[in-house]
Structure 1
Amino acid sequence: MSVHSPQFIESWRRQLIGTFSNNAAEVPQWELELARGSDVGHFGPDSAVWAVHGSMTPIIAGIRALLLQALHPGAMAGVHDFSDYKEDPLGRLAGTIRWIFTVTYGDTTTARAGSGWVMRLHQKVHGTYLDADGEVQPYSANDPEIARWVHLAFTDAFLSSHQQFGGPIPGGPDAYVAEWAVAGELMGIPDPPRSESELRKQMAAYDSQLRSSEYVREALSFLKRPPLPASQRLGYRVLFAGAVASLEPRHRELLGLRAPHLGPVPVPMTFPVKLVLGVIRLGLGPQGPSERSARERIARLSAAG
């Protein structure tokens, strides 16, 4: 079958949609239900959060966020001990997407309920890990300091990826960090950062706690070559390379990764990443079902006065 044939293109498009929806045959019900609700939500069509999360950059941001999160031994222990990401990677991806889009596009009640559901799942995620000094420490997924690192990694990854590979952000980087602080508060994190400088400061405070480990190397091995359809593997390699290139040098070094290069010459990743994201946009369409549902809700509320 030619790559230019309508059959190939449609098959590629179905596989692409399946990657982000856990191979659901139809739009998941939870996305349709975002059209319900009694208020606009924490954000809105003109927000920095909608500009970032409604673009294609969250795809590469997701890779960067996972790389960053893995460096905290407590967070990584929880993933190793309780996550089924190797056996069900699309299910894990779909669950993360559901939470992010519920908070982004749902009304305030739905956003709060979605976050509460995640926190209840996290109640069973606890155990012990070796910290950067080799000392045994307890961990819990709902521990505010571990949850804070996860929030910081998400915020940093989504912001940095959009700055490098996306378009303008209404209000600038500070607006995005301040708006997405709501997500941290919903997950029980006290005083999440509300500016880019606060984000960098809070992340730097974790430097002494971050380390590599066998768990990190296992996760890296999976992230480098996840079980994707053949039609998506080249594009994913480009996005993974872009995510690695976008990392802070200190984080890249801890992960044992190198920015893409030809000999001693760094390979610029902006154009190839944007090209791949543009192709994905063509496959997924200009607007996702979560955003469509949110716009329906907002239009209904506006019409009702």
Structure 2
Amino acid sequence: MPAGRQDRRSPRERIGDELFARIAGPRGRAVRERIHSTPGPRWFGPGCEIRTVHGDAAMFVGGLAALLLQSLHPVAMAAVADHSGFRGDPWGRLQRTSTFLAVTTFGTAADAQAAVDRVRAVHARIRGTTPQGQPYRADDPHLLGWVHAAQTHCFLRAHQTYGRAPLDPAGRDRYVAEAARVAIALGAEDPPRSEAALDARLTAYLPELAQSVQARSAARFLLLRPPVPVAVLPAYAALAAAAVALLEPQHRRLLGLPATGLIDVVARPFGCAMVRTVRWAMPPPRI
């Protein structure tokens, strides 16, 4: 804002603008307008469950939980640590991820496919070796399947816990099936199409998960040294506690976190309060 000009925004607008800029980047408003207002067919029309889940403020909790859970696959985490730049540019990575989710969920079919094509082109160039000497490639359908399953599980669980309108069993199955469409487009291996299949898939991946140094380092970064101003650390701590509480005990143990405890008592009320605050500050666009 130019010097000497009074900021006439309300506290709600100021908080909302700051949050949105962090998540969507400096061009976020223009990008959102283009996503929602461009005419044309969509992968997911009005009434689709994926729009309900991905458009709710509970995604703040689900997204953080997904990052923690995804880090437990040592091969997938090696690719993230080597190539994503999540430490050097965590907000940039968040903005790219949030834009991809918004475009594929709410954008036109043409824009959604273009976003998928860009991601697949990036994945095709990423190759490496884990610290244990195992080669990896980012376009491995099996690894993409893990990332998708972990993400879908966390988004859905966060919505059921903190969302404005939790889904009934049929709605949860529809959400998983709709999310599978994006996973297939990205090249994931046979993504689950129902909540029961999603739970079974996570169980099937469990033997591949491990207490890697990289996963624990990522957890410390996300939970103890987050890239946020000091003034908002208490609010972030509430969201982080809510995210950890969404994880299964066996996943928490692999991250070096208590499997149960005080966090399960305090997480829900603090998480609900923070999600309500985000929802108040950042009302969804009229779509």
Q: TM-score, normalised by structure 2?
A: 0.89
2: CA distance between counterparts of 1:25 and 1:114? Answer: 17
2:224 maps to 1:213: no
2:146 maps to 1:149: yes
Match of 1:128 in 2: 129
Match of 2:3 in 1: none
TM-superposed deviation, 1:172: 2.3
Match of 1:197 in 2: 196
5+ residue gaps, structure 2, are: 1-7
1:61-85 CA-to-partner distances (Å, cap 9, x unmatched) read: 1111001110011110011111211
TM-superposed deviation, 1:190: 3.6
> Conserved in 2, the CA contact under 8 Å of 1:178 and 1:195?
yes
Runs of 4+ in 1 over 3 A off after TM superposition: 5-14, 28-31, 259-262
> Conserved in 1, the CA contact under 8 Å of 2:21 and 2:28?
no
5+ residue gaps, structure 1, are: 296-305
Match of 2:29 in 1: 27
Match of 1:298 in 2: none
Find the residue that maps to 2:29 and give its secondary structure.
coil
2: CA distance between counterparts of 1:242 and 1:142? Answer: 31
1:36 partner amino acid: T
Q: CA RMSD in A?
A: 2.2
TM-superposed deviation, 1:86: 1.3
Match of 2:232 in 1: 232
> Conserved in 1, the CA contact under 8 Å of 2:128 and 2:135?
yes
1: CA distance between counterparts of 2:17 and 2:260? Answer: 30
1:72-117 CA-to-partner distances (Å, cap 9, x unmatched) read: 1111001111121112111100000011111100122221111111
2: CA distance between counterparts of 1:227 and 1:154? Answer: 21
> Conserved in 2, the CA contact under 8 Å of 1:51 and 1:169?
no
> Conserved in 2, the CA contact under 8 Å of 1:77 and 1:215?
yes
2: CA distance between counterparts of 1:169 and 1:216? Answer: 31
Indicate how the Cα distance of structure 1 residues 237 and 21 shifts in structure 2: closer, same or farther if over 3 A, else same. same
Find the residue that maps to 2:152 and give its secondary structure.
helix
TM-superposed deviation, 1:266: 4.4
> Conserved in 2, the CA contact under 8 Å of 1:48 and 1:172?
yes
1: CA distance between counterparts of 2:86 and 2:258? Answer: 24
2:155 maps to 1:158: yes
Aligned length: 277
Find the residue that maps to 2:101 and give its secondary structure.
helix
2: CA distance between counterparts of 1:51 and 1:33? Answer: 16
> Conserved in 2, the CA contact under 8 Å of 1:244 and 1:259?
no
2: CA distance between counterparts of 1:233 and 1:280? Answer: 15
1:177-211 CA-to-partner distances (Å, cap 9, x unmatched) read: 01111011110124210001111111111111101
TM-superposed deviation, 1:26: 5.8
2:100 partner amino acid: W
1:236 partner amino acid: Y
1:118-140 CA-to-partner distances (Å, cap 9, x unmatched) read: 1111122211115xxx5x32111
Q: Percent identity?
A: 37
Q: For 1:72-83, list aligned pairs within 5 A.
A: 72-83=73-84
